[in-house]
Amino acid sequence: MSYVRIGITCYPTYGGSGIVATELGLELSLRGHEVHFISYANPVRLEGRERIFYHEVEVTTYPLFQYPPYTLALASRMVDVAEHHELDLLHVHYAIPHSVSAYLARNMMRAKRRLPFVTTLHGTDITLVGTDPSYFPITKFSIEESDAVTAISQDLKEQTQRVFGIARPIDVINNFICPGTYQPHPEWREVRPTLIHISNFRPVKRVLDCVRILARVRQSVDADLWMVGDGPERMPAERLARDLGIEANVRFWGKQDQIPKLMPRAHVLLMPSEMESFGLAALEAMSCGVVPVATRVGGVPELIDHEKTGFLGAVGDIESQAGYVIRLLQEPALLATMAAAARRAAETRFNTNEVIPQYEAIYERVLAPQ
């Protein structure tokens, strides 16, 4: 496709949707497009890159404003950037409130020219926040008004259509990975069997289950657990590790930028989530040849092929998830076979070269003369 100028809005410092949006911007710029991030913080990993720009949204406070109106400040900034940098389109990640701002920006530009917007749904914007009665009507409206909508899994697409009663087309574009960045490094592997969990430690991630799984695994195998990230469930998880007497075997790393350096050191990834629309952390693990043991929820079965590229158990079923981990740690041949299959799946199905053109095709569609 011919090169375009794209305004991308996301939560740049928090969660999987920010990582996907940031990596998408990087990949688009490498393909010759001009990318303008419009947000409240700079996606740090992109500083100094060619054809990537950052425009901060300033939210002025005022004594009358009990809640500073970020949505409006964002819409104004989108229009400003669109005008001065001749943006062709906006691409917003996470529906709330970004697609509402994009809707406003498109309408404010209408007298001058078209400014279509694409909304990418990531998960909790639909499954948790969007279904809250305070946000339901505006989420439904902004999805219906988007020029194109993408969802990161077939499951999320179907949930969106069902929950909001939406008939409009939604394209499924999965999360993606750069296999050159996320690589296996068998020579870096810890000598001791090591489980890893990476998340933002929200209740939906069921972080405490990781600690319980380790306690059960340790009845059969002398293993450690690395907890990477931070959030509300961190302190309860630390307390549980102490209560179970395994605090020496659980390391809390806090937030880490260098996941491609950390991940390949582990043997198995734990992702015991209550809900997961796709599971970017599991894809990162698979690309590094680290076998995921996860829950059969949301879009996870679209990523993990049970017993081939990972294992899937029921939510909260510590016994079965721990059982899968024990099998992997006690059978090195099984671990190696599944690690290789996981890497292959990441490389072939979720590679940037497969997925980025799908976004480009959407851009082409919304930019086609009406």
Residues that bind ligand GMT (CB under 6 A): 15-17, 20, 94, 122-124, 152, 175, 199-200, 204, 275-280
Question: Residue 294 or residue 326: which is nearer to ligand GMT going by CB?
Answer: 294
Helix (H), strand (E) at residue 92? strand 89-93
CA pair distance 269, 286, nearest whole angstrom: 9
Question: Residue 20 or residue 326: which is nearer to ligand GMT going by CB?
Answer: 20
Provide, rounded to whole angstroms, the least separation between the CB of residue 19 and ligand GMT: 7
Provide, rounded to whole angstroms, the least separation between the CB of residue 220 and ligand GMT: 30
Amino acid at 210: C
- Residues contacting residue 273 through CB under 8 Å, at least 6 positions apart: 199, 204, 205, 206, 279, 294, 295, 297, 300, 315
Question: Residue 83 or residue 305: which is nearer to ligand GMT going by CB?
Answer: 305
CA pair distance 310, 338, nearest whole angstrom: 7
Helix (H), strand (E) at residue 359? helix 352-367
| Token pair belonging to 309 | 């590229």
94 Rama class: left (phi>0) / alpha (psi -120 to 50) / beta: left
Provide, rounded to whole angstroms, the least separation between the CB of residue 226 and ligand GMT: 17
Provide, rounded to whole angstroms, the least separation between the CB of residue 217 and ligand GMT: 24
Contact 271, 289 (CB under 8 A): no
Instruction: Name the strands in the sheet holding 89-93, side by side, starting at the edge strand that comes first in the sequence.
Output: 52-56, 34-39, 5-9, 89-93, 117-121, 148-151, 171-172
Provide, rounded to whole angstroms, the least separation between the CB of residue 315 and ligand GMT: 12
Question: Residue 175 or residue 194: which is nearer to ligand GMT going by CB?
Answer: 175
Question: Residue 121 or residue 326: which is nearer to ligand GMT going by CB?
Answer: 121
Provide, rounded to whole angstroms, the least separation between the CB of residue 294 and ligand GMT: 10
Provide, rounded to whole angstroms, the least separation between the CB of residue 307 and ligand GMT: 21
| Token pair belonging to 216 | 């059960």
Question: Residue 139 or residue 199: which is nearer to ligand GMT going by CB?
Answer: 199
Question: Residue 296 or residue 327: which is nearer to ligand GMT going by CB?
Answer: 296
CA 309 from centre of chain: 20
